[in-house]
Amino acid sequence: MSFMEPTGRQGVAEYRWPVEHSQFSNSRVAGVDPVLLQSFRVSARCGCFMQAARSLNIKSTQLRKQLAQLEAQLQCSLFSHSGNGFALSRDGLQLQAQLIALAHERGLPLFEQPLIRLAVAESILHDILGRDLVSLLRRNASVRLDIISLDSELSLRAISADVVVWLAGTDSPLPGPSFAISEPQRLARLDYLPHIAKRYSRVAARPDRLGDLADFMLVQWQHDRQVDAFGPWNSLVEQRLAGVVQLHSYELMLEMIRCSACIGLLPHYMSQFDRGLVALPGLFKQPMQRQVWMAVNADSRNEAEVQGIVELIHNTFNERREWFES
């Protein structure tokens, strides 16, 4: 047969890429510590070791150690590092796909964090606890926390929470929460004094007697009108026929004192919280004091997450102990 002679049409076979089977069998993955697999799964999902550590509520160094242990057990490299980030290697992609398949196959539920309810007096939340609560959330991205601001005695009596921090008299925690609580603990005693911004009052011209306040505007947080311990200050404000501002917002009251040459009643520690504010002692003969109290819900006081919040609050007040020593 001539080489030029046409032949019948031959069947054409479709080209197929070689199938690459995963080296991670179900039995092999099942033999690995679940903590290590969870560290890898979260890291792969976040694409960032720092964010993954936050989600797992561990330090970045601990996360990297766990991932190194996982690579040692599987005898492969799961990540390709480049610059400040990383990508999954071929083995890492295979392991991620295997874990996703296993999760769908088993119908594994998402891990649910318990909801912790924290109720705090508004001024304490803003001035003292706010910064450490932000730090907690920065470390632990998976926490479930319901933060309730208490701005009145009525709100204190109406709420239900796991941990409560409130302000009351120096001799008794009453009035306190209406639900069953552990024995209240005293965290600090607060002395209250009128404050003014330094930039609006030279040292030589600062008022040192009540008559000197006539030339200044007074600002009052409405919540303080109901506090018996603030009787001297409240009486002064009520006598004013001009030059007085009543506010329902604690933060706005602070801003008025900082930026509007107003004088307002604040805890003595405020000059530690804001170096631009200065206390005006000696204006009132009668001291104005309150006590910070904390209690834990009797039903949830033994839960680890609740104890963690209690420990955070104790540490915060201990670290700021000099704020409350006058």
Annotation: CATH topology of 26-106: Arc Repressor Mutant, subunit A (1.10.10)
Q: Which of 197, 199, 168 shows the shortest CA–CA distance to 291?
A: 168
* Boundaries of every domain in the chain: 26-106, 115-189+290-324, 191-289
CATH number of 115-189+290-324: 3.40.190.10
pLDDT value of position 2? 39
Q: Which of 138, 139, 119 shows the shortest CA–CA distance to 129?
A: 119
Domain range 191-289, CATH class:
alpha beta
* Length of the chain (residues): 326
Pairing of strands 185-197, 277-279: antiparallel
Cα–Cα distance for residue pair 279/194, rounded to 1 Å: 6
pLDDT value of position 46? 84
Q: Which of 296, 265, 267 shows the shortest CA–CA distance to 176?
A: 296
Instruction: Decide whether 115-189+290-324 matches 191-289 in CATH topology.
Output: yes
pLDDT value of position 106? 57
Q: Which residues of the chain have pLDDT under 70?
A: 1-27, 83-84, 103-112, 203-204, 326
Omega within 30 of 0 (cis) for the link into 109? no
Q: What is the mean pLDDT of the chain?
A: 85
pLDDT value of position 159? 93
DSSP state of 285: S
Cα–Cα distance for residue pair 249/267, rounded to 1 Å: 16
The answer to whether residues 263 and 278 touch, using CB atoms and an 8 Å cutoff, is no
| Tens of pLDDT, residues 94-131 | 888 888 777 665 554 445 678 999 999 999 999 999 99
pTM of the model: 0.71
